Chain A
Amino acid sequence: MAVFLQNLINALQWGSFYALIALGYSMVYSILMLFNFAHGDIFMVGAYIGFGVSTALVALTAMGAFALPNWLILVLTILFSMFLTSFVGMIVERVGYRPLRDAPRASAAITGLMIGIILETGNLALLGAQRISFPPLIRTATYDLGGVYVTNKKIMIVVVSLGLALALHQFIRRTRWGMAIRAMAFDYVVVPLMGVPLNKMAALTFGLGSALAAAAGILFGVAYPVLDPYMGILIGWKAFVAAILGGRGSILGATLAGFLMGFIEIFVAMVFPSTLRDLIAYSIILLILVFRPHGFFGEPYSARLRL
Chain B
Amino acid sequence: MSLSVANLHVSYGRIKALHGISFQIEEGEIVCIIGANGAGKSTTLRAVSRLVPVETGSQMSYRDKNLLEYPADKVVSELGISHVPEGRRLFDNLTVMENLQLATFARKDKAQIEQDIQRVFTIFERLEERQSQKAGTLSGGEQQMLAVGRAYMSGRKVMLLDEPSMGLAPVLMLSMFEALKEINQEGTTILLVEQNARLALQFAQRGYVLENGNIVLEGSSAALLADPEVKKAYLGG
Contacts and interface: CB of A to CB of B under 8 A. Distances in A.
A167 to B, nearest CB: 20
A183 B51 contact: no
B105 A180 contact: yes
B83 to A, nearest CB: 5
Interface stretch (B18-26, B86-94, B182-190, B228-236): B86-94
A183 B105 CA distance: 12
A186 B95 CA distance: 13
Given A193-B72, A193-B76, A194-B150, A179 B94 contact: yes
B103 A194 contact: yes
Contacts of A192: 50-51, 71-73, 76
B77 interface: yes
B97 to A, nearest CB: 10
B28 interface: no
Contacts, number: 75
A185 B89 contact: no
Nearest to B86: A307
Contacts of B98: 179
B103 A195 contact: yes
Contact of A179 (B50, B76, B89, B102): B102
B93 A193 contact: no
B82 interface: yes
Which bracket fits the contact residues of B?
20 to 34
Nearest to B77: A195
B106 to A, nearest CB: 4
Contacts of B107: 195
Majority-rule SS of B interface residues:
loop
Contact of B52 (A190, A195, A196, A307): A307
A179 B73 contact: no
A193 B84 CA distance: 8
A176 B91 CA distance: 14
A154 to B, nearest CB: 36
A138 to B, nearest CB: 41
A198 B50 CA distance: 13
B156 interface: no
Contact of A190 (B50, B74, B85): B85
A90 to B, nearest CB: 18
A199 to B, nearest CB: 8
Interface residues of A, number: 20
Contact of A193 (B85, B87, B92): B85
B155 interface: yes
Contact of B102 (A180, A189, A197, A303): A180
B221 interface: no
A193 B91 contact: no
A196 B93 contact: no
Contacts of A190: 85, 89
A305 interface: yes
Contacts of B51: 189, 192-193, 307
Interface string B31-52: 0000000000000001001111
B18 to A, nearest CB: 14
B46 A307 contact: yes
Nearest to B104: A195
Nearest to A177: B105
A194 B89 contact: no
Interface string B102-133: 11111100000000000000000000000000
B133 to A, nearest CB: 16
Contacts of A194: 73, 76, 102-103, 105, 150, 154
B163 to A, nearest CB: 14
Contacts of A307: 46, 51-52
A278 interface: no
B101 interface: yes
Given A192-B71, A195-B154, A197-B73, A186 B106 contact: no
Interface in A143-195: 176, 179-180, 182-183, 185-187, 189-190, 192-195
Given A195-B105, A307-B46, A182 B72 contact: no
A170 to B, nearest CB: 15
B102 A187 contact: no
Q: Which 10 residue pairs across A and B have the least CB separation, nearest first?
A: A192-B72, A195-B77, A195-B106, A195-B76, A192-B73, A190-B89, A183-B91, A197-B73, A196-B105, A194-B103
Given A180-B105, A192-B76, A196-B105, 17 more contacts: A179-B98, A183-B102, A186-B92, A186-B94, A187-B91, A192-B51, A192-B73, A193-B49, A193-B83, A193-B154, A194-B105, A195-B105, A195-B107, A197-B73, A197-B106, A198-B72, A305-B87
5 contacts: A187-B91, A193-B151, A195-B104, A198-B72, A307-B52
Interface of B: 46, 49-52, 71-74, 76-77, 82-83, 85, 87, 89, 91-94, 98, 101-107, 150-151, 154-155
